[in-house]
Structure 1
Amino acid sequence: MYRLWIIALTFLMACGQGSSQQAATTAPADSAQAYRFGEASRDGIGKFYAGREIAHVMGHLGASWLDRPEREQEERTDLLLKALALKPTDVVADIGAGTGFFTFQMAPRVPKGKVLAVDIQPEMIEYLNEGKTKRKLANVQPVLGTEADPKLAANTVDLAILIDAYHEFSYPREMMSRIASSLRPGGRVALVEYRAEDPNVPIKELHKLSVAQATKEMKAVGLKLLKNDKRLPQQHIMFFGK
């Protein structure tokens, strides 16, 4: 199963390159102080931030992989939902929502709030709108962002969750600055990433993130580590706040 996962992920990275390049036209010029450029590795884009090479983006052509039946058991998304401790009135921003696999699980838990399902690919927004209609979830709001801007209003979000997405951001400094600005007082960022510290996690290195690396990058935009929840089998659940 893990071998199949890696093979499929390699395919999905290739599928995502076209969408990433297409979205880049909406992104601002790079800051020479924040980023450097070098030779790209097989799984990276040749752009480096805080000593880390940014990974390729997963494309919409691999949407079926995001909704695979075994995902819940492999990633224990049930445990992740419990860890979030959502309140009925919460406004949640699902950054890199994809097909809405997790968006549609969170929505019923915030009946008096809403889930802002953010993605940069118009094809994913279509999936999200179709899923919202099919499930009759009026509190799901798809949002088309860009590589550098999630299009979230300031001081409106209780929880921003990024599931295996942050390491693929082409503009991590800009994205996280805007996400931090969107947080209400007491708001949190939940960064879910495969554990780079564990060599037994069968994921390519650029698609993992350590607590130390994440903490360094979040500190650059004014966020500090509040808690590292270790209940998932292969991923960190890192909570950050202002």
Structure 2
Amino acid sequence: LSAKADKKNESTYSYGKKSRDGIGKFYMGREISQVMGHLGAGWLERPKREQEERTDLLVKNMQLKPTDVVADVGAGSGYFTFRMAELVPKGKVHAVDISPQMLGIVRAKMRSLKATNVLPVQSTIKDTKLPPGSIDCVLIVDAYHEFSHPREMAESISRALRVGGRLILIEYRKEDPSVPIKLLHKMTQEQAIKEVSQVGLAWKETLDVLPQQHFMIFEKQAKKK
């Protein structure tokens, strides 16, 4: 990012009193939450996760093609990375994470599962480090709300997607008080659409297929001439 773009983006954030689970930095009225980090790997891999979150339905409803090039942004321990890798045998899955420890877990899994179509990618707080126009589908599961620079990350994702490529954004439903997750780790659909639509990604639909989470689908639009 240029220094000019950097300065412009920084002006989109505001700062205030931080709540217990937040960082005191706000984007479009939303306080950004603290990051879980690599110590949460056990929670990500918990045996009951598929049953609680219906992760099987999540992957199925992505409707991936065998040749798709996919990015799991905020991949963590690779819970979804390897599930997607099985569905794209002629494609690739980029496992993108800022944590070297999480990517170490991904690499260990690559060896044990002999997964040859997974590529670990070390990101920064502002850049996915994915090649421009190279990705068919980006998946972000319960991670976007933790991005310390959501505008820059969304721009980076938009650049990485080919025209017509999809961003699938999964976040716990903030509208539903029965979802037993801390408030800052949930998002309303309205807020998510407001933020993501800033970077040339158009909301297409939200699937009502998961017990606790929004399944929001955005598409990269061609630039208007």
TM-score by length of 1: 0.87
The answer to whether the 8 A contact 2:12-2:27 is kept is yes
Measure, in 1, the Cα distance between the counterparts of 2:215 and 2:165.
16
Aligned with 1:90 (options 68, 72, 81): 68
SS in 1 for 2:61: helix
Size of the aligned set, in residue pairs, is 215
Structure 1 pair 205–139 and aligned structure 2 pair: CA distance change class (3 A)? same
Which residue does the alignment assign to 2:140?
A: 162
Aligned with 1:195 (options 156, 161, 173): 173
Measure, in 1, the Cα distance between the counterparts of 2:43 and 2:178.
22
Measure, in 1, the Cα distance between the counterparts of 2:209 and 2:118.
27
Measure, in 1, the Cα distance between the counterparts of 2:109 and 2:201.
33
Q: Which moved more, 1:117-126 or 1:218-227?
A: 218-227
Alignment of 1:217 onto 2:213:
no
Aligned with 1:100 (options 69, 78, 83): 78
Structure 2 residues not aligned, in runs of 5+: 1-5, 221-225
TM-score by length of 2: 0.93
Deviation at 1:199, TM superposition (A): 1.1
RMSD: 1.1
Runs of 4+ in 1 over 2 A off after TM superposition: 28-33
Structure 1 pair 100–30 and aligned structure 2 pair: CA distance change class (3 A)? farther
Matches within 5 A, 1:1-242: 31-242=9-220
Structure with the bigger percentage of helix: 1
Structure 1 pair 149–70 and aligned structure 2 pair: CA distance change class (3 A)? same
Q: Percent identity among equivalent residues?
A: 57
2:128 partner letter: P
Measure, in 1, the Cα distance between the counterparts of 2:163 and 2:128.
19
The answer to whether the 8 A contact 2:9-2:151 is kept is no
